[in-house]
Amino acid sequence: MNARRFLWNAKAPCFAAALALAMAGPVGADDTKPTVEQVEFFEKKIRPVLVEHCFKCHAVTAKKVRGGLLLDSRAGLRKGGDSGPAIIPGDPAASRLIKALRYDELQMPPDGKLPDKVIADFETWIKQGAVDPGVATAAKSGGVGNPAPNSSSEVKIDFQKAKQFWAFQPPRRHEPPQLRKHDWPRRRIDQFILAGLEQAGLGPNPPADRRTWLRRVSFDLVGLPPTPEEIEAFVSDQSADAVEKVVERLLASPHYGERWARMWLDVARYAEDQAHIVGNDQSLTYPNAYLYRDWVIRALNADMPYDRFLTLQLAADLAEPSDPSNHVALGFLGLGPKYYDRRRLEVMADEWEDRVDVVGRGLLGLTVACARCHDHKYDPIPTEDYYALAGVFASTRMTNQPLDAKCEKKPDGDAKQPKDALHVVHEGTPTDLNVFVRGDVNTKGPVAPRHFLHVLCAGEPARFTQGSGRLELAKAITSRDNPLTSRVIVNRVWAQFFGRPLVGTPSNFGALGERPSHPELLDDLAVRFTDAGWSLKWLHREIALSATYGQDSLEDSRPPGVDVENRLLGRMNRRRLSVEAWRDAILAATGRLDGSLGGKSIEPSDSKERRRTIYSRVSRLSLNPVLALFDFPDPNIHADHRVETTTPLQKLFVMNDPFMVRQAEALTERLSGEVAGDSHSANEAFIRRAYLLLYSRPALERELQLGLEFLRRGDDIKARRRQYAQVLLAANEMLYID
């Protein structure tokens, strides 16, 4: 078949026609449910292109449907054109559509090649199987219908009906269920967990031994392993409150804030530069971003109430104008992505989307940014609500606030050099944005006054009238009447302790997100969290002292195939350490860890660097290779969890990288300094001490004999010990907690 005729004919004189042909092939099996990430990608990256380039001629609202092609429904997308498919789902390189978009064959769209980034998005989409959730899916999910062809929704959202969805119902306390095993629960949490197990005919695992529990809770609360001396003291402490004393000691540690700040920095997409720096241009860098990181650590150590923690990050300059010490918290917004040519409206619109996204997904667990080009396809979020929030950030000015009066300043008062600046936000000119029809800044719809989301308000949302509206937004987010904020943070914290959140999609509590595994527990914990003054330390204490958290992680004797994902939590999950905890544990074992708090950023790959990994420089342009290798999230966007990979490069790193070689040398030096001589008994003591430092447990007899056999080979005992130390550092047991 002629390729040109295949992709282009007189009946389809536009980009949409070829796209319709592309959809003629399979778009994913009907019985395969797309992931939330795939759907969000389609809604944000693919559907807007369809809307902008296709719907004028290929939608049910078109005056004349050209070529009989309808691209505004799943059925129309799947039917395609008369000439057959133009894509091979899963294989973009072999798809003729991609060749046409690249202008390799036919040049489409004919009025100008799409940007490389858009073409790359289509390649990604096809590689993922050309997922199109379709209008039918939206209807099933309680969505609001097709994107409107103009600025007004053709499908009215019934907000009262929408509020019946679980996530929009106010959380409330629940009476703990009746139980058969009354002696197991230690905290209120346990009663809900045990009820689910008993209903399934299951029971909980036995408690973990003391060493295992102490290692677990130490990593979870301070991100560091316990010392051998701390282990011995806890094992020997037979007092009734021994566990409580450990938890209180860890919560009071200054290292607590370092461990938990990293969770928040993932949510906040913390970084110290931009992804598109040209040459030596430093104008888009944030040399003092670390000051925001230090503020987060201090706030968490002080157990700042979570509602105030959020308020200061959104509007510290408005909430506490007389206390500039907290204005650095505005780095939550001020350190966000900035793009070149910020005088252009389309550039600023992309920046506003980032702010709406980090607030929507990060604080509320809603994909509000999916409503930028059309009403949200699945959740009750009209496009007007998106622009109402975007207007808040359009009324806010990102600024390089001078660190002190000595700094050289620009005419507008900003520091002339980023190195002399605090990277925050200030009030701009209050602005209500027009709705950008289909996301096109050149096609303006009606004005969208600034206000909060309709579905989270009791009635019609009140307009934001105080400057930009940031403080009013912060109050709406942290209001006890808001059903989402407390649930979202409780769910994030739960995931850190158990390796799996109660809601499996931590940043999407909407229709496409997962339903909670224990809805009554989530609600009860969220209400008690706010009743406890929004105290994160209260929440951590409640979880860490529970019998659920204290269970053994070994596989239990439940029947095969029953609760294989451990959603009912009949045992503790074995978990992999983050790159931060893993690197810090290595440094702690060698005795080289520098425990000083705060300060400028480091390069964690430097073999001489001793500071904790929380202080790593985070670059959007070029992420440190150690962080990237061990699954650090993309700092360009909000991250709701860490992906876990196992690759050959990771093992090559632990075997060959200068950092690991240096740590093996340091561990050998420490152990050899604690053990005199190189006799058989000295080698035995060397091995026993190594296991306590690295794994928080005694060496098994077989492990001891294997180690002794290795160390007695050869004449160079120092080299053998270093090799042995590196093997222990590289072992999986260093990377996991039970």
For residue range 353-375, what is the model confidence (pLDDT) as tens digits? 999 999 999 999 999 999 999 99
Distance between CA 417 and CA 402 in Å, rounded?
9
Q: What is the pTM of this model?
A: 0.85
Going by pLDDT thresholds of 50, 70 and 90, the confidence category of residue 464 is very high
In this structure, is residue 428 part of a structural domain?
A: yes
Residues 586 and 437 in one domain: no
Cα R_g (the chain), whole angstroms: 28
In this structure, is residue 526 part of a structural domain?
A: no
At residue 153, the pLDDT reads: 44
Going by pLDDT thresholds of 50, 70 and 90, the confidence category of residue 21 is very low
- Is the pLDDT reported for residue 132 higher than 80? no
Strands 421-427 and 396-402 turn out to be: antiparallel
In this structure, is residue 411 part of a structural domain?
A: yes
463 close to 451: Cβ distance less than 8 angstroms: yes
Distance between CA 461 and CA 476 in Å, rounded?
10
Specify the length of the chain in residues.
Answer: 738
For residue range 594-640, what is the model confidence (pLDDT) as tens digits? 999 999 999 999 999 999 999 999 999 999 999 999 999 999 999 99
297 close to 258: Cβ distance less than 8 angstroms: yes
Going by pLDDT thresholds of 50, 70 and 90, the confidence category of residue 71 is low
- According to DSSP, the residues that pair with 427 across neighbouring strands are 396
- According to DSSP, the residues that pair with 401 across neighbouring strands are 422
What is the distance of C-alpha 184 from the center of its chain? Answer: 34
Averaged pLDDT of the chain = 88
Residues 474 and 583 in one domain: no
At residue 367, the pLDDT reads: 96
In this structure, is residue 283 part of a structural domain?
A: yes
Distance between CA 604 and CA 625 in Å, rounded?
9
For residue range 305-341, what is the model confidence (pLDDT) as tens digits? 999 999 999 999 999 999 899 999 999 999 999 888 8
- Is the pLDDT reported for residue 479 higher than 90? yes
145 Rama sector, left if φ>0, alpha if ψ -120 to 50, beta otherwise = left
CA torsion through residues 4, 9, 14, 20, sign: negative
Distance between CA 539 and CA 507 in Å, rounded?
19
Count the domains in the chain: 3
At residue 134, the pLDDT reads: 56
Residues 264 and 399 in one domain: yes
Distance between CA 206 and CA 677 in Å, rounded?
42
- Using alpha carbons, select from 552, 596, 587 the residue that is nearest to residue 734: 587
Distance between CA 352 and CA 448 in Å, rounded?
14
In this structure, is residue 484 part of a structural domain?
A: no
3-state secondary structure 329-387: HHHHHHCCCCCCCCCCHHHHHHHHHHHHHHHHHHHHCCCHHHHCCCCCCCCCCCHHHHH
Question: How is residue 349 annotated by DSSP?
Answer: H
- Is the pLDDT reported for residue 20 higher than 50? no
Distance between CA 99 and CA 91 in Å, rounded?
12
At residue 647, the pLDDT reads: 94
Mean pLDDT across the stretch 553-560? 78
At residue 120, the pLDDT reads: 84
In this structure, is residue 30 part of a structural domain?
A: yes
Domain limit, last residue, from 421, 453, 478: 478
Domain limit, last residue, from 79, 111, 136: 136
Q: Residue 99: which domain range?
A: 3-136
Mean pLDDT across the stretch 218-230? 98
In this structure, is residue 273 part of a structural domain?
A: yes
Lookup: tokens for 472: 């009013």
- Using alpha carbons, select from 38, 9, 34 the residue that is nearest to residue 21: 9
Residues 586 and 730 in one domain: yes
At residue 246, the pLDDT reads: 98
- Is the pLDDT reported for residue 31 higher than 80? no
Domain limit, last residue, from 426, 447, 478: 478
Residues 6+ apart with CB under 8 A from 309: 299, 534
Residues 584 and 456 in one domain: no
In this structure, is residue 564 part of a structural domain?
A: no
3-state secondary structure of 446: strand
Mean pLDDT across the stretch 445-467? 97
Chain position carrying tokens 């992505």 = 337
- Is the pLDDT reported for residue 473 higher than 50? yes
For residue range 255-266, what is the model confidence (pLDDT) as tens digits? 999 999 999 999
Going by pLDDT thresholds of 50, 70 and 90, the confidence category of residue 77 is low
| Percent of the chain residues topping a pLDDT of 90 | 72
Residues 466 and 587 in one domain: no
- Using alpha carbons, select from 566, 564, 549 the residue that is nearest to residue 184: 549
Neighbours of 480 (CB within 10 A): 14
Residues 6+ apart with CB under 8 A from 69: 12, 16, 17, 20, 58, 76, 80, 81
For residue range 664-704, what is the model confidence (pLDDT) as tens digits? 999 999 999 999 888 999 999 999 999 999 999 999 999 99
